Structure 1
């Protein structure tokens, strides 16, 4: 009786193995052959000699899937299945691709690798021969084993099992053994007929080639090939954009190669996702790139463009719109609330300096977002500073064109894994897991890098120098080549120090006295009650608040601690900037406190301005917020003496005088300027508010009574600036930066009084900053010869706010009159003149620092940080929001003092978007070795190599893995020898994979495949 093999009670694999041990050769016929399944039988064939009657002949059928079979069977017109050489060759290639595809599925294992290599060896040694039967679909599963046995020379197994891991050992199969000699001979004859059929084609060599080209190959692959293959896949969207779009003719001789690449990559993102953010650092030509991108969209999709920009850039954008014939309109962002809702439909909206729309609660933001959504407009965002150390800055810009609940195809995996998985996320948050809203819950930087990779194109100056610039063979300087053959060199940024004396022992040195322990302690002890009104709300007032007042009170609770922190740091920043600016700010602060005290004493409401953190953030505002709310109300009546008394007789700094001024200004607010404020009843707040307002005012009045009379002739810092402008560089254009408009106006007036000419002040409220930029830098603004000599400027004193988008590169000297608390601000200031077209060999970057050293400055900043933490004015990551680099910033001050080279070079390459970074790795590699392109693209999808590595605690041995996930996203992982994640930073992993073409390939780690499996599980978990 025949035995039945169902792989449950009777496994076929075990019977085959036992029979093979006693066999000399074998003939197999199967419908499907899994190359990895061969390892279950390989060792039993290894001892055969090879050749005729000493090998395994394997006949593989050309199977069809059920749908194909059904369509063929039901075809109306029946045709004979005739083969020709061309068809046979096509079928052979098709099956070869199927075999290749087999080896791309699943995670490789060491066992599979050994088995595949063994199969290749056995085919070469003629121990295995494989043919493909093409005459017709062949489904038979037959295993004939030949033995030196006169009674049963052939043992057959017939049934349903293919030569696969599942077929030989898994449930769902049914086979029997055939021992009858006559039946076995008939089966042998049947096999011989098909083996010798004309259209039975030998594919043995093809299988060897497939294995030798796969991850199972024995020949080691150069690690450099794997590194470049990673970059090739990570850059697929960048390459798609470069191949998909053409630059309009009018830009072909205008754009540099790096700009052309950015425009094409951005066009891909814009076309695919409806929006893109071009975020190249300052000075790389974002305006021109945005214009070229808009032109592509207009040409390809017949769109018209609405350009929204800061009011100080309207004139510049009008020039670009006319010069490059964009069809559309330029609109100042200050006018969107009045005009945007009435504008006709523009299907492309370009927003310059889009970081100004980082607050989605703002009225301008909502108006613009509503217009974009209503008109289904594509969106181009331009910003050199899209991310200001809070991730919501990024998502809020994306929200302009991405709905918070839209499925964007990716999710914040690092955050999800950190909190315990998808179920925990869904339990904790209401947002969909593949949405922009989901990312807003994450503070994992690699989640945000993955998100922004789909929308952001960003390169740094160093990246452009490294990858696109040519090198002058004589000077070794890097340059870009204009279409007319002229060169635009990259200058060296040279830090310089201007040292001024602070003499604490000199009573006439008011600036030194302001740094005294008394002043510092006074500022650190301020209650700053006006900035934290929510802390003083009376829960049980005599008259309960109305519904409107309840909403007003609720609004007060937002950001109170943050506002207090900003106010305290800004007082110290203004002290660092100039004694005059500090005293002005102290005076205004006192006056504002007395305005509130007046309201309390007279049972009048408080005037609440539209104050938020951005108004106190020197990145976006150069004005004193107390001054904003005062001057706007009183200056039209030319009563400035009521507001600003710094420089006046110290007898004016008394409680009585401030009460007089406060009463007059309050009446201005209450009557003529009532609509400029929101009003809230003062009796809704606790009595302690009055006490702390008075306490702060009195403490600050003491400072003014001691030091409030400012004598600019004794200002050592101002004197040092004058020397720099008149002695060190008497004839050179100089750009002076400070954080505060008050300092700008002070310096401008003082220098004019000292006889300096051809200078101007530029702040955020200047009506036409482009005109000032043109007078200061006519050549770079294409106005050389059009500006009268007497109208040209040699010295421009400016705040950081003004400098957005202006061409200032006729100048090569930058002066930091005060030092921002984040080094990036100094880098960006240098970038304002280090732009394409700069002709100077060096950019001199002067910074003002005390002559006796920087310890005082560092200690002062350290005390401020400590006070912010003590008062809970810094919460979580908010310290970064105060734009303070902490110890890194302290070290930067020391480096500035010592004029440390390289300090002001721009951001590292990890500030470049991943697609651009990966594309450049790929492009550089194939430019250096053009043959490499074919080599890399022919590598199989699953492939590996091992390179030398010197392990450290933070960079251990292990495995770096790239995977394209099921939803078509790229992912990188790095695990150590224990299979634990080392880092999830895609940039770090790609950089760790970096190696040179000559890097030697090593034998893999013993647990290589197991580590790859662990890395893959980390990615897909």
Structure 2
């Protein structure tokens, strides 16, 4: 009697295993072969003798729809076609490949697959595909040493899968009767030998040997390149997709062309891009090429730049044939509201727009939003103080609640309840730029900026795009005409000057104490408003009172810091600022004493973000300092009353005016106290004597001695110092000299006269004195000598200054950067700055300017390095911070240039593939595994786990660098728990992505949330009525599952503003839903398993 195996009362698998353990061979006819399921039978086949074979016949099963068409259609069964046979064979082999990349790798599966590889090599397993007709039969026929029943069969429903052999729902019976068994053997042989039965064994072996389960150790270098290949996907797509304009006047270097194409990809796909290459690599030319590249798509372009760069951009517009309008950013408020639409907006020096509360910022942002413009941001310093500098620039084109597809993962890991806890705490969408603004983790910001940033450094260019001159031992870029550009060395030099002259009294502790003790009432006028007003203020006066700063501590700190900065700049500039401050206080005292309207200057915190400190006198004195200073410089004794008349006359509109009666007597007392204290400084210092200025004399010696024949660029933070130097040096053996400040009418023209770059100009300059207005955007590579007459409190300013001459086209091997330091040592200067910073911080006041980004110890270290002329101190800060796509692409390109065969090999490496190598482990960089996954929602994710499974980092660039290795590195066996680490990484990433859907709808103000909540309310109120639309439920489910498409968001936003009715809204939303235009399609994002692209084991040395 046949035995029935239903895998309930009797199980087929153990019976089949027992039979196979005594077998001489076997024939299987199945419909599906799960390669990993071989583990169920591999142990039995392992014990077979040589010559024993398991023949596996796979029957191609026709899809149900195709079977019905064949059965009932007009065509019926078509004759067998060889092309279709080969196609079916390719499809099955592809299915085998898919099997091996689906799911998580395990040691058990790896052993089973390796057993299968060995069995195929030993000839114990052969596989064919039967294609004469669909074959659904399931047969397991075993030959064994048995006198009564040498042939036994099992016929039924079970495929060669673990579930098929052991799972419920199957039904099989054995065939022991030998006549029937022999007929089954003949039946199998007929099909195995059929000419339409195609051999698969060798191809299957190749697929297995190429898979992650191969017994051959994989090259760690290939895994490293696979990581770089996938991370460079967008860069490669941009380079392949976009072509530079053929008639662009100036040929681009390869690194510039790559940046343009990558930027074009970001621009088209994300609506904006930031080109953040460091100073001197040609961002303006790259932006011009990008404009030309995108002309067919965007037509005309609007270029917004600082006013001093308008002439330069106008020249670029002319030279490169740009269809563009150039506008100064300072004109944005007045011109943009009525300007026609430009689909592309280029914003030069975009870091200047980091104050999102400013009116210029608002005007530019509103124009971009109103016209749906795409945006190119240009900056060499993407951020100075905080990461919010980055998001402020991105917000110019990126709405704060837009779904950007990624989350601040590092920050989320610090919050209990993950995404749900985040939304509860911050009330914003977790995949928005607002979410990232809550993170202070560098990895989160790198992850965000990889979507928008293209940034390369000098070191990166030198390492990847240059050739090496053996004779000069220098790297160079080759111009198309054969000329070479050698990267110069930035060499710091110190200029010491004595402080035992006029500077001695100014650098004293007494001066620090006086400035520290100033009450600065003009920067806290709100604290002096009388509570008992004799008359009711007007509406304008009320608004002015409302705007007055009641604390003003940050502005007071800014003013105090500027006093000290001007002291470091020059004694002349410092004493001039003291005189002006006394005069401005005196103007208020005059008004209060005579019952006149009091002039109130700007108290806006935006003054803290002053771009150009050469105008900080305006901040200090809230008026046109130059005019008041000019009267004093000419030796005229000007009374406070005269200055008041000037303010109330020609400069009346520069101030707001309040009645003197609004203020308490304490205001006059504090103003007078400050004037008395400042007058002590003036009395002690006396009149500044330029002929006795030791610092000025040191500069004159440099210009007339070592660099008497060289072009010299002198930087200072203050216009007063620049004008002082120009006046005092002119005629003192220094010729062809000029100064340029923020007030200069045409800084670009002065820059051109200083650095004509081979063009003939009249009145060419040899020495140019400039404020930091010239440290942005200008090309001054005709010079190789830079002098820092004063030292900004942030090293980045010094680097930017050196970058004005260290640019492509510089012919000198060395750029010299001189810095003035007191001759009695740098520690005195460090001590002065430390005292100032400490006192301001103790008072809760801002230090002022960019130096707020650096702590005291770092700034002190920078000063010591300058004093000691340390090489490299003036190289770019964060020189390693290259954008991820560019770094990964360059790794890929360099490798494939060296070995073109990798172009074919690496992309064909299957998913789940892994390797392992030795690793110099440290507590911060431990051994373990690097894992690269693609999540169910289509996002790339990397994880670094230590040997115990703890997360080290998920920073993509850190993991890419940790994976770096050379082609000859030895492959090692992986850690015993390597697959466990991969599984843990995969589960963590999936859980993080799937955790909490509460934040997916965004904030209460987002279109998606407003739409969902309104539709949900409609559904709830109409539940059970005749007016419930059954499709409304599907719409609500889709809104929870996926973000709204951009077009739908715009359409719905307009209807919300016009207060669309419920029925009309339902009709509109259902129509969008039916047409597939409501939410982003999620068919491809609903897979439950991540795809393991690759992993690399790090074996501690």
- Post-superposition CA distance 1:897-937 (Å, at most 9, x none): 12122222234543211111111111111122222222222
Deviation at 1:154, TM superposition (A): 5.3
Q: 1:293 aligns with which of 290, 294, 299?
A: 290
Deviation at 1:843, TM superposition (A): 0.8
Equivalent pair of 1:81/1:136 in contact (CA under 8 Å): no
Deviation at 1:864, TM superposition (A): 3.0
| Residues 89 and 498 of structure 1, relative CA distance in 2, 3 Å threshold | same
Could you tell me which residue of structure 2 aligns to residue 441 of structure 1?
Answer: 438
Tell me the distance in 1 between the aligned counterparts of 2:408 and 2:531. Answer: 41
CA RMSD between the two structures:
3.3
| Most deviating of 356-365 and 691-700 | 691-700
Tell me the distance in 2 between the aligned counterparts of 1:61 and 1:87. Answer: 15
Deviation at 1:595, TM superposition (A): 4.9
Deviation at 1:565, TM superposition (A): 3.7
Question: Does residue 849 in structure 1 map to residue 821 in structure 2?
Answer: yes
Could you tell me which residue of structure 2 aligns to residue 44 of structure 1?
Answer: 44
Tell me the distance in 1 between the aligned counterparts of 2:479 and 2:200. Answer: 57
Q: 1:513 aligns with which of 479, 484, 505?
A: 505
Could you tell me which residue of structure 2 aligns to residue 676 of structure 1?
Answer: 654
TM-score, normalization by structure 2: 0.83
| Residues 195 and 348 of structure 1, relative CA distance in 2, 3 Å threshold | same
Question: Does residue 624 in structure 1 map to residue 616 in structure 2?
Answer: yes
Could you tell me which residue of structure 1 aligns to residue 1092 of structure 2?
Answer: none
Could you tell me which residue of structure 2 aligns to residue 810 of structure 1?
Answer: 782
Equivalent pair of 2:493/2:816 in contact (CA under 8 Å): yes
| Most deviating of 232-241 and 579-588 | 579-588
Tell me the distance in 1 between the aligned counterparts of 2:87 and 2:202. Answer: 17
Could you tell me which residue of structure 1 aligns to residue 33 of structure 2?
Answer: 33
| Residues 679 and 717 of structure 1, relative CA distance in 2, 3 Å threshold | same
Could you tell me which residue of structure 2 aligns to residue 910 of structure 1?
Answer: 880
The 5 Å alignment of 1:734-745 reads 734-745=712-723
Could you tell me which residue of structure 2 aligns to residue 998 of structure 1?
Answer: 968
| Residues 263 and 552 of structure 1, relative CA distance in 2, 3 Å threshold | same
Equivalent pair of 2:455/2:883 in contact (CA under 8 Å): yes
Tell me the distance in 1 between the aligned counterparts of 2:176 and 2:307. Answer: 96
| Residues 985 and 818 of structure 1, relative CA distance in 2, 3 Å threshold | farther
| Matched residue SS, 1:793 | coil
Question: Does residue 347 in structure 1 map to residue 339 in structure 2?
Answer: no
Question: Does residue 882 in structure 1 map to residue 880 in structure 2?
Answer: no
| Residues 155 and 570 of structure 1, relative CA distance in 2, 3 Å threshold | farther
Deviation at 1:558, TM superposition (A): 11
Could you tell me which residue of structure 2 aligns to residue 752 of structure 1?
Answer: 730
Tell me the distance in 1 between the aligned counterparts of 2:545 and 2:110. Answer: 69
Could you tell me which residue of structure 2 aligns to residue 336 of structure 1?
Answer: 332
Could you tell me which residue of structure 1 aligns to residue 226 of structure 2?
Answer: 229
Tell me the distance in 2 between the aligned counterparts of 1:800 and 1:491. Answer: 22
Tell me the distance in 2 between the aligned counterparts of 1:214 and 1:537. Answer: 79
Deviation at 1:607, TM superposition (A): 4.5
Tell me the distance in 2 between the aligned counterparts of 1:356 and 1:537. Answer: 34
The 5 Å alignment of 1:153-552 reads 153=150, 156-169=153-166, 173-179=169-175, 181=177, 187-251=184-248, 254-298=251-295, 300-301=296-297, 303-420=299-416, 421-503=418-500, 509-531=501-523
Tell me the distance in 1 between the aligned counterparts of 2:24 and 2:68. Answer: 41
| Most deviating of 554-563 and 355-364 | 554-563
Deviation at 1:759, TM superposition (A): 1.0
Tell me the distance in 2 between the aligned counterparts of 1:631 and 1:224. Answer: 64
Equivalent pair of 1:617/1:882 in contact (CA under 8 Å): no
- Post-superposition CA distance 1:199-226 (Å, at most 9, x none): 2222122121111111111111222211
Uncovered stretches (5+) of structure 2, i.e. residues with no partner: 993-1101
| Residues 626 and 765 of structure 1, relative CA distance in 2, 3 Å threshold | closer
TM-score, normalization by structure 1: 0.90
Equivalent pair of 1:589/1:626 in contact (CA under 8 Å): no
Tell me the distance in 1 between the aligned counterparts of 2:588 and 2:10. Answer: 93
Equivalent pair of 1:50/1:128 in contact (CA under 8 Å): no
| Most deviating of 593-602 and 264-273 | 593-602
Equivalent pair of 2:945/2:985 in contact (CA under 8 Å): yes
Tell me the distance in 2 between the aligned counterparts of 1:569 and 1:68. Answer: 82
- Post-superposition CA distance 1:946-966 (Å, at most 9, x none): 122111122211112222334
| Most deviating of 812-821 and 853-862 | 853-862
| Residues 928 and 175 of structure 1, relative CA distance in 2, 3 Å threshold | same
Deviation at 1:830, TM superposition (A): 1.0
The 5 Å alignment of 1:688-707 reads 695-707=673-685
Could you tell me which residue of structure 1 aligns to residue 1093 of structure 2?
Answer: none
Tell me the distance in 2 between the aligned counterparts of 1:705 and 1:692. Answer: 20
| Residues 596 and 243 of structure 1, relative CA distance in 2, 3 Å threshold | same
The 5 Å alignment of 1:725-740 reads 725-740=703-718
| Residues 736 and 196 of structure 1, relative CA distance in 2, 3 Å threshold | same
Deviation at 1:366, TM superposition (A): 2.1
Tell me the distance in 2 between the aligned counterparts of 1:166 and 1:531. Answer: 79
Tell me the distance in 2 between the aligned counterparts of 1:741 and 1:962. Answer: 54
| Residues 978 and 544 of structure 1, relative CA distance in 2, 3 Å threshold | farther
Tell me the distance in 2 between the aligned counterparts of 1:682 and 1:397. Answer: 42
| Residues 471 and 58 of structure 1, relative CA distance in 2, 3 Å threshold | same
Could you tell me which residue of structure 1 aligns to residue 697 of structure 2?
Answer: 719
Q: 2:575 aligns with which of 583, 586, 593?
A: 583
| Most deviating of 733-742 and 608-617 | 608-617
Question: Does residue 901 in structure 1 map to residue 871 in structure 2?
Answer: yes
| Residues 228 and 612 of structure 1, relative CA distance in 2, 3 Å threshold | farther
Question: Does residue 55 in structure 1 map to residue 53 in structure 2?
Answer: yes
Equivalent pair of 2:776/2:800 in contact (CA under 8 Å): no
| Most deviating of 237-246 and 25-34 | 25-34
Give the number of equivalent residue pairs: 989
Question: Does residue 126 in structure 1 map to residue 123 in structure 2?
Answer: yes
| Matched residue SS, 1:442 | coil
| Residues 585 and 1014 of structure 1, relative CA distance in 2, 3 Å threshold | farther
| Most deviating of 834-843 and 18-27 | 18-27
| Residues 757 and 125 of structure 1, relative CA distance in 2, 3 Å threshold | same
| Residues 39 and 599 of structure 1, relative CA distance in 2, 3 Å threshold | farther
Equivalent pair of 1:592/1:626 in contact (CA under 8 Å): no
| Residues 980 and 552 of structure 1, relative CA distance in 2, 3 Å threshold | farther
Deviation at 1:733, TM superposition (A): 0.8
Equivalent pair of 1:809/1:838 in contact (CA under 8 Å): yes
Could you tell me which residue of structure 2 aligns to residue 506 of structure 1?
Answer: none
Deviation at 1:814, TM superposition (A): 0.4
| Matched residue SS, 1:724 | helix
- Post-superposition CA distance 1:513-549 (Å, at most 9, x none): 2221122233344455544567778999899999987
Tell me the distance in 2 between the aligned counterparts of 1:533 and 1:224. Answer: 66
Could you tell me which residue of structure 2 aligns to residue 1013 of structure 1?
Answer: 983
| Most deviating of 755-764 and 190-199 | 190-199
Tell me the distance in 2 between the aligned counterparts of 1:71 and 1:909. Answer: 65
Tell me the distance in 1 between the aligned counterparts of 2:680 and 2:712. Answer: 38
| Most deviating of 880-889 and 803-812 | 880-889
| Residues 33 and 389 of structure 1, relative CA distance in 2, 3 Å threshold | farther
Deviation at 1:846, TM superposition (A): 0.7
| Most deviating of 263-272 and 193-202 | 193-202
